[in-house]
Amino acid sequence: MLALFSFSGIVGNALAFYIYYKKRDKTTSNVFILSLAVTDFLVCLVVVPYTIVAELLSYRLVYDIICKVYLFCITSNVPLSAFIMVAIAFDRYFCICHPFLRVLTVERAKLGVACLTLLSFVLGVITALNYGVDRVHTSPVVNDSNVSAMVDTLGPRNSSADNQTWSYYYNGYSLEYTQTNLSNGTFNDKEEVRYNTVLVRGEYCGLNSMILSMHFTASYQKVYAALFLVSFIIVLVLYALIYRSILLRRRWRSRRKRMSCYTSVNGAEQTVVEETQMTAVNGNVNADKSALPKKSSTSRQIAIREKTLYANVKTAGMLFVVTIVFIISFLPSWLIGLQMIPFNLIVFNIYFVNNVANPFIYAFMNRAFRDDLKQLLKRCK
């Protein structure tokens, strides 16, 4: 499954990046689509194959730096995608609901993507510091019945010493247990070993308290999970406002048609011509000749504005589908991470779908993208 994701994502996102990069009209939506394409391409090229290797090795990554780099890659791309979705929602909101404010320009969009990338990298670094191969365990590992049985079987190395140490290989870890001589000169193998601290130098990539404390890690994981919840809420609220604005505009148009009998922009221009002719009959021909071009120009401006709005609404619809696919694919992994549903490896890795699906959404919902793709394939032939 992951191999299929990797191949499809590399090809699809490379085509999407090339097509949108070659577009002459650089808009804010193009900037965000390009940033998504780059992010998804890198995920499918690096992170997904990295995950395949980690799964095949059962996360026995052996070297601490390999573990940390993997956690950095896998935990920085997901928040970056979520943050870009929020930026897209804000961009569509201002384009449709407040088209005259010009809050987001192309340069501001590029700067925003750079800032969001930096923030995601910071989150990735903190997560990487929370994980590693070498780590310290206490009673949860020591209390394992198999460990206690092994300690009883092996016995102490030196029964006359004040401190006893056992070293052996257990479940992928090289474990060292140290037991202190009791006051009466005897050793209580089971009870003392169970409650001693264990230094684990192993192969598995997992939580690490050697750099950041487990208390900090627990708090950080809550903040990390909350970022996605906040992002989802912001996106849904903004798109709800966009939908409300579109509905209000449609109602206003319907009311206007019923009251003034204007059926379209062409109908509005015909009404201007009729008014001009009636005024000419009354002897105001010269005034109306100057008024006609002015009103026609206004009508053309209205037509251009309506066409731009329609294009923005279509783009918003396409990017809304991109956002919904991201939320649906990431939600099971998010709930598994919060331990709200049972762990399932296939369900957990489904979140990579959002890194693969975007080019297919563009091809399905954007006719211009399909035309550009056809032209590109023809040139390749």
- Report pLDDT digits (tens) over 312-355: 788 888 888 888 998 899 899 888 888 888 988 889 999 899 89
φ and ψ at 186, to 5 degrees?
A: -110, 165
Query: The whole model's pTM is what?
Result: 0.69
Average pLDDT, rounded, for the chain: 75
Domains and CATH numbers, the chain: 2-133+212-244+325-380 (1.20.1070.10), 139-196 (no CATH)
Task: Return the percentage of the chain with pLDDT > 70, whole number.
Answer: 69
* Structure-model confidence comparison of residues 62 and 282, the more confident one: 62
Query: For residue 237, is it left (φ>0), alpha (ψ between -120 and 50) or beta?
Result: alpha
Tokens of 334: 């998010």
Cα→Cα distances 305→63, 70, 242, Å: 59, 48, 17
pLDDT per residue over 89-138, tens digit each?
999 898 888 877 778 888 999 999 999 999 999 999 999 998 887 655 44
DSSP code, position 182: P
Q: What is the pLDDT confidence band of residue 58, given thresholds at 50, 70 and 90?
A: confident
Half-sphere exposure at residue 170, Cβ-oriented, CA atoms within 13 angstroms: 20
pLDDT at 55 over 60: yes
Whether the Cβ atoms of residue 103 and residue 177 lie closer than 8 Å to each other: no
What's the confidence (pLDDT) of residue 50?
A: 92
Q: How confident is the model at residue 11 (pLDDT cuts 50, 70, 90)?
A: very high
